[in-house]
Structure 1
Amino acid sequence: MRMGRILSVVLVAALVIGTAGAFPEDDVYTKRIKIEMPAISIERQNEYLTIEMDGTSYYYSPGKPILPKIDKVIELPFGVIVKNVNVIVKGIEEKRIDEKIEPSFGPLPIMPYKVKARLPKLDMSIYKSKEFFPANWYSYRVGCGLNADGKRVTFVSIHLYPVRYAPALNKIEIAKEAEIKIEYTKPQKTLPQKSAYELLIITPNVFKEEAVRLAEHKNEMGMGTIVETVEEIYSLYSGRDKPEKIKYFIKDAIEEWGIKYVLLFGGLNSPIWAKAKDNANAGEKDWYIPVRYTNLYDNPKYPLAETIHDPGVASDLYYADIYKEGGEFDDWDSNGDGIFAAWNKPGVENDTLPDLYPDVAVGRLACRNLKEAKTVVDKIIRYETECDDSWFKKMIVVSGDGFLDQVDLNISWDTNGLPDGEYTIYAQSINDEGEEGPVDEIHITIDRSKETKLTFNHDDHLNPALQNGYPAPPIAEIVSVSDGDVLGNTDY
């Protein structure tokens, strides 16, 4: 909760509620939902105002005003075409405000400590405008994917903006309620309701024996499993590259067998050196199971003081995101220019946003050789058949806030040559201005006659140097061993 003087509280207090109905008319169905907006409060935070609304998220974009946002996801049958989404807002109240609404920071990645983040900078195209922001009361997108119950559905994700802001006029508009109307067709595509197989394992020939061994185990456990090799897939399917051939095969496996899970059995083909990326779109030559690379270029100079650059990443989501609206195949290349998932790439036309909702659960065992393949199958079988499961669901997790200015030193301590006994580990941090922080001290025991006992401890909140919060002296914290831990004869 932000602290500050409450200026006003308006609107009827109510959380999101809804009513819905579907009415076929000439093969077009209609779904209606009514949403009542929660009450808002306006508070002064330093030089800005903040607008708070219980039960909502917030719209964040670097330099733009932080405003409440209501997210509503409606599920429709898989394969429908959404003809229209219309939202009518009612009970609009206009209110004058005296100060500017707080702007948003940009995302702050964990970076080397020399990269300095700037304070929020106003986007003057918004803050000098007489137009209300956002420009519309709502936005939406449509996609296909697995819901929380593992069923394939059509998602209509609607984002409502119950408060809009005209900075140059010092005014906000507040909506009391919204009526959503969605029109859609009957499903254009249907999928099997029953599964001949649940799990599909895709493997290179070199790992086939181990993949079959894993499949036999899964079948014995009651999960119908089938194995296919990439060599066979490449010979039977057409596609612009190997990842696309595999994706077409997964599509057929869903539609013919009702597959729910896909296991990609293989990673790079060398534990020493391999070329991960062959071209802008894929890594193939040195991969047992190839990977798709996106071309989503990231160049977020703001809010950082210097430019960083991310030229796309490897993404197995490509193999999981089979369908888009209407149950059509989503190839991640909407404009057909041969550059997959392109956005902000210099000299390349942007693709429309891929669907990005997974239609099948995909995992990868990134084995680099036969020994690793055999080892991981052995471990899976042993884990699922022999282990005492009494500890599976027992976990204690203690967490706190992360620190964007934290630097993990990952210092190693080789104890092989040390005799058994009591030891003390010390750590101290000194910043580049010569300021010394407090000494962290941990007492441990080396006893090779006992099992190892290690605990993770992040207790810098108890440090007297931090009793008044930040800013504070530079802090060194030993976290991977704690007081009383034993370094014994077992590995962690």
Structure 2
Amino acid sequence: MKGKNVVLCLLVAALFLIPAVKNESITGDEPSEKKYIEEHVDFSASILNDLIYIERCANLIAENKPVVPFYTKTYVFPAGSKVSIEIYPQKIKKLDVMLPSSYIPSPPGFEIEQGSYDADIVYPERWYAYDAMAGLKNGKHVVILNIYLYPVRYVAGDVLFANEFEVKIYYRPPEKPLFTNDEYDLLIICPDSWMADLQPLKEHKESHGIKTIIVGLNEIYGGK
């Protein structure tokens, strides 16, 4: 039996610290039943020398942007699951602080300089972001969902802080496993707009005896 390969045509953000959360609930028992996860994530901020510290958060560093904290939460679902997301920031207030700018990268031996940012920018653009990818966990093919929450945002001169986030995830596992031992040797996961362009690669692989399947992101992942 040949080992199976997975090709993922995505750019994936690096994973950082995963903080603790509370009030997690999962409903649904049947494999094809739509399931539901709800989490309420609390933040507590402290300020020192214009830097905002939030426990178990990393800092988001980007040139000519303010330094803001963020954290990551990772979820794992069976391969072929359909997933949708709702995230709501809550208890938003203004903070009396001036966010520092990220440092400008410099070659070795040169002095590191602090950058600046436009006073009218909005950063990050949203309170959260997310991405999905295919992977292996304990030898099984899975869908990995990463959610990034930004409890602090700079909005045209104001620093806003969300004390809580409500995270809702709806997912439906596949009615039958997406992967079986004998169906194919190579899985290619890509944006739907790439599928036609990858057909020649599929045909090339199959001409060499490699059973290949192309799966679009809309087949495994859907978000709001």
* TM-score normalized with structure 1 length: 0.33
Identity of aligned residues (%): 23
Higher CA-based Rg: 1
1:175 positional shift = 1.7
Could you say what secondary structure the match of 1:245 adopts?
helix
Contact kept, 8 Å, 1:79 with 1:326, in 2: the verdict is: no
1:135, distance to aligned residue in structure 2 (A): 2.4
Distance 1:243 1:160, change over 3 A: farther
- Which residue in 1 is equivalent to 2:132? 142
Q: Distance in 2 between matches of 1:180 and 1:249?
A: 45
Deviation at 1:55, TM superposition (A): 0.8
In the alignment, what sits opposite 2:11?
none
Contact map agreement 2:151 2:161 (CA 8 A) in 1: yes
| Residues 1:91 and 2:91 aligned together | yes
Q: Which structure has greater helix proportion?
A: 1
User: Which of 186, 190, 194 is equivalent to 2:178?
Assistant: 190
Q: Aligned in 2, Cα 1:178/1:112: closer, same or farther, shift over 3 Å?
A: closer
**Cα distance in 1, alignment partners of residues 100 and 129 from structure 2:** 22
Question: Is the 1:15–1:36 contact (alpha carbons within 8 Å) kept by the matching residues of 2?
Answer: no
AA of the residue aligned to 1:104:
S
Q: Give the deviation of 1:30 after TM superposition.
A: 2.4
Pick from 101, 106, 115: which aligns with 2:99? 101
8 Å Cα contact 2:86-2:167 kept in structure 1: yes
Q: Contact conserved, 1:187 with 1:326, CA < 8 A, in 2?
A: no
Give the conservation status (yes or no) of the 8 Å contact 2:104–2:112: no
Instruction: Give deviations 1:443-481, integer Å, cap 9, x for gaps.
Output: xxxxxxxxxxxxxxxxxxxxxxxxxxxxxxxxxxxxxxx
Contact 2:65/2:123 (8 A) holds in 1: no
1:245 maps to a residue whose letter is K
- Aligned match of 1:120: 114
2:19 is the counterpart of 1:32: no
CA contact (8 A) 1:144 1:327 kept: no
Task: Judge conservation of contact 2:25–2:37 (CA < 8 Å) in 1.
Answer: yes
Write the distance in 1 (CA, Å) between the matches of 2:38 and 2:211.
Answer: 33
Do 2:37 and 2:168's aligned partners in 1 also have CA atoms closer than 8 Å?
yes
Q: 1:250 to 1:172 in 2, by over 3 A?
A: farther
CA distance in 1, matches of 2:93, 2:66: 19
Indicate how the Cα distance of structure 1 residues 15 and 154 shifts in structure 2: closer, same or farther if over 3 A, else same: closer
**Whole-Å Cα distance in 2 between the matches of residues 60 and 244 of structure 1?**
42
Correspondence list, 1:148-167, <5 A? 149-166=138-155
User: What is the CA-CA distance between 1:326 and the residue it aligns to?
Assistant: 6.1
RMSD: 3.7
Q: CA deviation at 1:118?
A: 5.6
Unaligned 5+ runs, structure 2 = 1-18, 186-197
| Alignment deviations for residues 404-462 of structure 1 (CA, whole Å, 9 cap, x no partner) | xxxxxxxxxxxxxxxxxxxxxxxxxxxxxxxxxxxxxxxxxxxxxxxxxxxxxxxxxxx
- Structure 1 residue 90 displacement after superposition: 1.9
8 Å Cα contact 1:93/1:175 also seen in 2: yes
Partner of 1:57: 58
**CA spacing shift, 1:102–1:190, aligned 2, 3 Å:** same
The residue aligned with 1:215 is none
Indicate how the Cα distance of structure 1 residues 68 and 244 shifts in structure 2: closer, same or farther if over 3 A, else same: farther
Higher strand share: 2
- Moved beyond 4 Å, runs of 4+: 241-244, 248-252
Cα deviation, residue 140, structure 1: 0.9
- Partners of 2:112 and 2:204 lie apart in 1 by 42
Tell me, in whole angstroms, the C-alpha distance in 2 between the residues paired with 1:326 and 1:249.
27
SS across alignment from 2:130: strand
Equivalent residue, structure 1, for 2:194: none
Contact 2:76–2:143 (8 Å) recurs in 1: yes
Equivalent residue number for residue 453 of structure 1: none
What displacement does 1:101 show? 1.1
Deviation at 1:78, TM superposition (A): 0.9
User: 1:178, CA displacement in angstroms?
Assistant: 1.3
Q: Distance in 2 between matches of 1:242 and 1:93?
A: 52
**Match of 2:123?**
133
